[in-house]
Structures are given as structure tokens and as C-alpha cells.
Amino acid sequence: MMTTMTNTVTEKKLSKKDVLKAWARYYATAEVGNSYERLTAMAFGFGQAPMLEKLYGDNKEELRKAYQRHIQFYNSEGTWGSLVFGIALALEEEHANEITKLDYDPEQTDSFTDMVTNIKVGLMGPLAGIGDSIDMGTIRPIFLSLFIPAAAGNALGGIGPLVLFGLYMSFLAYFLVRQGYALGRDSIASVLQSSAISRLIDSAGVLGLFMMGALSASYVKLTTPLTIVTDGGEWAIQETLDGMLPNLLPLAVVFLIYFYIKKAGPKYIRIVLGIIVLSLVFSFVGLV
């Protein structure tokens, strides 16, 4: 009687707790170890390290190459870059199971390294653009604007936006790392090709403009005391402007500053000094 013996290899799998631990290490240090040589790569490698040790175990050569893969230059926005981090975890898990097969060629590791590097390099820029435009360029100003009315005499005006924005960023980042891990290399295609991203950017932009308009009307103060004397009495220019469109002068100032920034660039110190000088001059001659 012939007996056929089969070697069974236990599949290596990361748990939800493993993914959370790896992501927490990465996210907590994403902006800590920056350098011109690697930027945020050290944080990326620091987050991956415990999972790489779990996946590759005693295979020191594969572990060494995995470490090297994830300390190469990397720069992306921390929150949306969590999607790339999740993809990398999924790919490393897949590779760790591939190398246990009897027909695995060690030279394939070099091809795998090239693939992982290309995925990270290809995704870090677009995701940074999305993160900077949505989170930093739109969501953060909205949170700040919501608490501006509470800033006068209330500590929540300063603490509230920091807490809420931090919670929003953390929950979004963990959601993205879970999506990246669950969907692997195909996740970014499903995200970027989805019309939901463009709708989210458009909606956030509209909401941001709405909030900026409301804040401009509330906090930009400009009136004129000028009057025109006629046979029928005095004609107050400010009353006429308010009848046409309330807060017309503040709106005009906001648009003038906007067009200046668009033409000359974000030269904020020059803008502030210009506003101070013009305010003093116009006030001295009685225009405002």
C-alpha cells in the first residue's frame, strides 16, 4: 500500500486587531519622522514592522527585503494615505503566503518589491491631492468657521474644532486603511473611478463657499458715513446700498482681496498691511 503525504501550510492572516495596531503606529507618527531623504517613509515602515515580523517569521531574508521596501521615499497626506497603507498590508500578506509554496522562485521577490513600490509611488500623489483639497482646504476651515461665534469668551471656541476635526480625520483614516486592506490593490481603482469622490469634492467645495460667504457677511465690517445733500434733504449712501444689497461693501472688499490673491498670489502679510493702511487713510478722510 502506498501512502501519499501532503504538506499543509497554515495560511498567514492578519486580524482586525493587527491592522488597527499597524495603522495606529503609522498614523501617530506620520508627521514625526519627516526628512528630505525619505519624508514619511519611516512612519510607513514603523507601522508595517510588527506585521512584517508576524508574516515572515524566521525568514530573515524576506523580512529584510520587506523592511527595505517600506522605508523607501514616500510622501502622501496621512489620512488618505492610509488607503495605501492598507493596500500594502494586503499585498504583504499575499506575498507571505506565496513564498511558502514549493514552486516559489525567490527571484520573484524582486518583482514583488517593484510592484509594491510602483503602487505606492503611483498613488501617494493623487491621494495627497484629494486629502489636501478636502480635509485641509475645505473640511478644516468649515470646522473652524462653525466655532468662530463661540470663540468670544468661550474656551470651546478654540478646543471644539481641534477635537472634532481630529475625530473626523481619525475615523476617516481607519475606514480607509480597512478599505485598502479588504480590497487590496484593486481598492484604489474602485475609489478613484467612483463618481462619489468627485461629488464629495464638489459638495464640500460648495459648503465651504457657503460658510465663507456667511462669515464674510458677519465679520467683515465696512460702512460709509457719506451723504449727498439735495434740495429734498440728505441722501445717505449707506442706506441706499443696504436697500440694494445688505453688506454690499464688505462683499466688495472680499472680492477685491480674492482677485488680488488670484493675480498676485497668497501674499498675506502685504494684504494685511494694505488693509490697515487703507482703513486708516479712508477713516481719516471720512470715507468709512
Give me the DSSP letters along 108-156.
HHHHHHHHHHHHHHHHHHHHHHHHIIIIIIIIHHHHHHHHTTT-SS-TH
Q: E strands of 231-283, at which residues?
A: 233-236
Write the pLDDT tens digit of every residue in 131-182: 888 888 788 888 888 887 777 777 777 788 889 999 999 999 999 999 899 8
Phi and psi at 158, nearest 5°, equal: -95, -30
Q: What is the residue-averaged pLDDT of the chain?
A: 82
Residues 77 and 194 in one domain: yes
1: pLDDT strictly greater than 70: no
Residues 49 and 174 in one domain: yes
| Beta carbons of 277 and 270 less than 8 angstroms apart | no
Tell me the three-class secondary structure of 5-21, residue by residue: CCCCCCCCCCCHHHHHH
Residues 86 and 181 in one domain: yes
Residues 162 and 254 in one domain: no
* In a domain? residue 8: no
| Beta carbons of 218 and 124 less than 8 angstroms apart | no
Burial of 283 (0-12, 13-18, 19+ CB in 10 A): exposed
* In a domain? residue 89: yes
> Which of the listed residues 182, 207, 232 is the one where a domain comes to its end?
207
pLDDT category of residue 10 using cuts at 50, 70 and 90: low
* In a domain? residue 9: no
Residues 225 and 278 in one domain: yes
pLDDT at 194: 59
Quote the domain boundaries for residue 236.
Answer: 221-285
| Beta carbons of 181 and 26 less than 8 angstroms apart | no
pLDDT at 84: 92
> Which of the listed residues 172, 207, 242 is the one where a domain comes to its end?
207
Mean pLDDT of 181-185: 77
Residues 229 and 192 in one domain: no
Residues 53 and 161 in one domain: yes
* In a domain? residue 49: yes
* In a domain? residue 158: yes
> Which of the listed residues 143, 176, 207 is the one where a domain comes to its end?
207
Phi and psi at 228, nearest 5°, equal: -115, 125
* In a domain? residue 276: yes
The count of domains in the chain is 2
* 3-class DSSP assignment, residue 87: helix
